[in-house]
Chain A
């Protein structure tokens, strides 16, 4: 047996050209591809149809007052052609931001506890409890918020407004801090309380997405950190949090998307006002979804169209938030294994 030395002619280098690659699928693959593809297409079509339906129904109302007035008017009185989403859109965003501010640290702490601290049955139980929290109907959260949370939280609201009332956001009109009477009515049905309830509702989604991304932090990097003598917090700070960054941002944004669309719980708690308010502790708040639920039953055809237009605005906002969220999750490292 001897070896071979292939002949090689450098001058013939140009002779090689890339050939086109074609391939035939197995029949089974054809069936599988068509089924999955149609599934994907149906979802897109439904999504597009919702958007088109809202837009086509809402357009007549918007045309009536003009887009600019629709976006800037605070009042909602379709019967006198004086309506716009300025107040409700602001209220929606405000409630969602309060919810986010409360839910984000709560979810971050919970998911770090689940992935980095808890072990065994605590870890398992907590994970399923969080998932269970997501299954609680929002009307139940609304009832809990209105009849359990609100009577107990108003004193805290008052405390904030007494001590931090100098910050405009926490100001409450018509309350005398020196009064010995326990007057809590001005603190009920506020943006703050609605935001707290919504926070409870978005904690599960935020926690489960953050937990998932933390859990996938590579064991090699974790051990590398510990082998350098890292404290647990040091390891979390250098390995888990940078790795889970996408999950933290993405989960928070998904929670924001939910908070924006939340309807019935807010509807049960707030007392609707149609003005742009900055005082979050004060009675009176509003949101697009809650307004639609409130006005829907008493609307004629034109008022309905106005509500559709408001719904379309909400649709656009939540879509933008959700797309941003999924883009961030997809681009982050936690979506993929570490290279190498």
Chain B
């Protein structure tokens, strides 16, 4: 395993202490007011009230609109990778609890793999990391997600800023079909309402496509529709699109599950080349892939009718060679799941 920033000196996995956690954080949902609801009128914040049927979610912040310059809201300059810290994340869909007080640290510039059988909540966890979870109408959550120490669910934070800093690549490649490859790559600028000069865009397109190792394949047809690419190319186009807004963290939700082995290798090479520049969190069902690309690994598991938890997490080598929990051992060796 390559360790770009801070090498782990002790290659050892961690088993979350269930008992201690339960004592401190029992009733986390009841005691902690949900961040969306804690804004007050005096703060001049238009906060999203999930119960308001006239509004599916508003993030308008009148004060910020006046004082924040464009460059403050959005910068074309690449930002350094940031550490991501999930603290006591619980999640519900309606009444059904799918995650229970999950904490995980994802150090800056590293690649973290989330593994575990289907339905154990790892995709939900990933979607909580960039506030996509709340797009599901019945979804709710508790806990904190700290990006460089700053809670992205803080009422003062803008949801668009959180999502721009924490990009996401989905299981199914979703380029905008009406746009060309070029337009797709810089779509983030348009979506954020940012004007960029032609030269800036040209640079950004080449830079992002190179990072996603797609440039050589598409440089002669940048203005053809993005939908005309192969599955693997479309996925890498989505990666390039995410990179173009210079995120500090990139989340990947089973990015290779629909790809053939060659395309999978290209995506893995892309991940390899991004190591150190961006913090990457990847959900994968492919054990070998997790072992190949990740520095640290977290094993999620949900027993019958109970919410998902992290059974074990830590250095990838240790997770695969010498797991401390029997269930991890069984899973990474393909004995279930």
Instruction: Judge whether A218 is part of the interface by a CB distance below 8 angstroms.
Output: yes
Q: How far is the CB of A336 from chain B (nearest CB, A)?
A: 11
Q: How far is the CB of A156 from chain B (nearest CB, A)?
A: 28
Which residues in B have their C-beta under 8 angstroms from that of A116? 56
Q: Which residue of A lies closest to B175 (CB)?
A: A224
Instruction: Judge whether A226 is part of the interface by a CB distance below 8 angstroms.
Output: yes
Whether the Cβ atoms of B176 and A221 lie closer than 8 Å is: yes
Whether the Cβ atoms of A235 and B191 lie closer than 8 Å is: yes
Contact of A229 with B160 at beta-carbon distance under 8 Å, contacts A117-B56, A118-B53, A123-B53 already known: yes
Which residues in A have their C-beta under 8 angstroms from that of B178? 242-243
- Pick out which of these stretches binds chain A: B213-221, B234-242, B262-270, B285-293: B234-242
CB-contact partner of A119 in B74, B137, B191, B192, under 8 A: B137
Instruction: Judge whether A228 is part of the interface by a CB distance below 8 angstroms.
Output: yes
Whether the Cβ atoms of A228 and B188 lie closer than 8 Å is: yes
Whether the Cβ atoms of B177 and A333 lie closer than 8 Å is: yes
Instruction: Judge whether B39 is part of the interface by a CB distance below 8 angstroms.
Output: no
CB-contact partner of A225 in B57, B130, B191, under 8 A: B191
Interface residues of A in 119-169 (CB under 8 A from B): 119-123
Which residues in B have their C-beta under 8 angstroms from that of A221? 174, 176-177
Range, interface on chain A = 20 to 34
Whether the Cβ atoms of B191 and A340 lie closer than 8 Å is: no
**How far, in angstroms, from A339 to B174 measured CA to CA in the complex?**
10
Q: Which residue of B lies closest to A225 (CB)?
A: B191
Whether the Cβ atoms of A227 and B53 lie closer than 8 Å is: no
Interface residues of B in 191-240 (CB under 8 A from A): 191-193, 227, 231, 234, 238
**How far, in angstroms, from A218 to B245 measured CA to CA in the complex?**
22
Interface residues of A in 219-237 (CB under 8 A from B): 220-221, 223-232, 234-235, 237
CB-contact partner of A223 in B137, B174, B242, under 8 A: B174
- Pick out which of these stretches binds chain A: B164-172, B273-281, B328-336: B164-172
Interface residues of B in 5-32 (CB under 8 A from A): none
Contact of A227 with B187 at beta-carbon distance under 8 Å, contacts A118-B54, A122-B54 already known: no
Q: Which residue of A lies closest to B167 (CB)?
A: A227
Whether the Cβ atoms of B53 and A229 lie closer than 8 Å is: no
Instruction: Judge whether A81 is part of the interface by a CB distance below 8 angstroms.
Output: no
Contact of A228 with B56 at beta-carbon distance under 8 Å, contacts A340-B173, A340-B227 already known: no
Contact of A230 with B160 at beta-carbon distance under 8 Å, contacts A123-B53, A238-B176 already known: yes
Instruction: Judge whether A239 is part of the interface by a CB distance below 8 angstroms.
Output: yes
CB-contact partner of A228 in B55, B172, B231, B245, under 8 A: B245
Q: How far is the CB of B323 from chain A (nearest CB, A)?
A: 32
Instruction: Judge whether A338 is part of the interface by a CB distance below 8 angstroms.
Output: yes
Instruction: Judge whether B135 is part of the interface by a CB distance below 8 angstroms.
Output: yes
Whether the Cβ atoms of A231 and B176 lie closer than 8 Å is: no
Whether the Cβ atoms of A223 and B135 lie closer than 8 Å is: yes
Total interface residues on B, CB under 8 Å, equals 42
Which residues in B have their C-beta under 8 angstroms from that of A226? 132, 135, 163
Q: How far is the CB of A116 from chain B (nearest CB, A)?
A: 7
**How far, in angstroms, from A243 to B137 measured CA to CA in the complex?**
22
Contact of A340 with B135 at beta-carbon distance under 8 Å, contacts A123-B53, A227-B168, A232-B57 already known: no
**How far, in angstroms, from A230 to B190 measured CA to CA in the complex?**
8
Which residues in A have their C-beta under 8 angstroms from that of B57? 232
Q: How far is the CB of A21 from chain B (nearest CB, A)?
A: 30
Whether the Cβ atoms of B242 and A227 lie closer than 8 Å is: yes
Instruction: Judge whether B161 is part of the interface by a CB distance below 8 angstroms.
Output: yes
Interface residues of A in 183-203 (CB under 8 A from B): none
Which residues in B have their C-beta under 8 angstroms from that of A122? 53-54
User: Most chain-B Cβ atoms within 10 A of its Cβ — which of A118, A223, A229, A234?
Assistant: A229
Whether the Cβ atoms of B173 and A238 lie closer than 8 Å is: no
**How far, in angstroms, from A243 to B174 measured CA to CA in the complex?**
13
Whether the Cβ atoms of B190 and A238 lie closer than 8 Å is: yes
Whether the Cβ atoms of B242 and A228 lie closer than 8 Å is: yes
Contact of A228 with B174 at beta-carbon distance under 8 Å, contacts A122-B53, A234-B192 already known: no
Which residues in B have their C-beta under 8 angstroms from that of A231? 59, 160, 191-193
**How far, in angstroms, from A52 to B168 measured CA to CA in the complex?**
60
Which residues in A have their C-beta under 8 angstroms from that of B160? 229-231
Give per-residue flags for A14-57: 1 if the beta carbon is below 8 A from chain B beta carbons, else 0: 00000000000000000000000000000000000000000000
Whether the Cβ atoms of A119 and B56 lie closer than 8 Å is: yes
Whether the Cβ atoms of B170 and A224 lie closer than 8 Å is: yes
Q: How far is the CB of B59 from chain A (nearest CB, A)?
A: 8
Q: Which residue of B lies closest to A233 (CB)?
A: B193
**How far, in angstroms, from A226 to B170 measured CA to CA in the complex?**
12
Which residues in B have their C-beta under 8 angstroms from that of A119? 52-53, 55-56, 137
Whether the Cβ atoms of B174 and A230 lie closer than 8 Å is: no
**How far, in angstroms, from A235 to B159 measured CA to CA in the complex?**
14
Q: How far is the CB of A262 from chain B (nearest CB, A)?
A: 33
**How far, in angstroms, from A232 to B175 measured CA to CA in the complex?**
18
**How far, in angstroms, from A230 to B170 measured CA to CA in the complex?**
16
Whether the Cβ atoms of A234 and B170 lie closer than 8 Å is: no
**How far, in angstroms, from A239 to B165 measured CA to CA in the complex?**
21
**How far, in angstroms, from A120 to B50 measured CA to CA in the complex?**
10
Mind listing 15 A-B residue pairs with CB under 8 Å?
Answer: A117-B54, A117-B56, A119-B56, A218-B174, A223-B168, A225-B176, A227-B167, A229-B165, A230-B191, A230-B192, A231-B160, A234-B193, A238-B190, A333-B177, A340-B234
Which 9 A-B pairs give the minimum distances between C-beta atoms?
A229-B164, A230-B191, A227-B168, A234-B191, A220-B174, A120-B53, A122-B53, A224-B174, A228-B188
* A residues whose Cβ falls under 8 Å from a Cβ of B: 116-123, 218, 220-221, 223-232, 234-235, 237-239, 242-243, 333, 338-340
Q: Knowing that A118-B54, A228-B242, A231-B59 touch, tell me 16 more A-B residue pairs with CB under 8 angstroms.
A: A118-B56, A119-B137, A122-B53, A221-B177, A224-B241, A225-B187, A226-B135, A227-B130, A227-B170, A228-B241, A229-B192, A234-B190, A234-B191, A234-B192, A234-B193, A238-B187
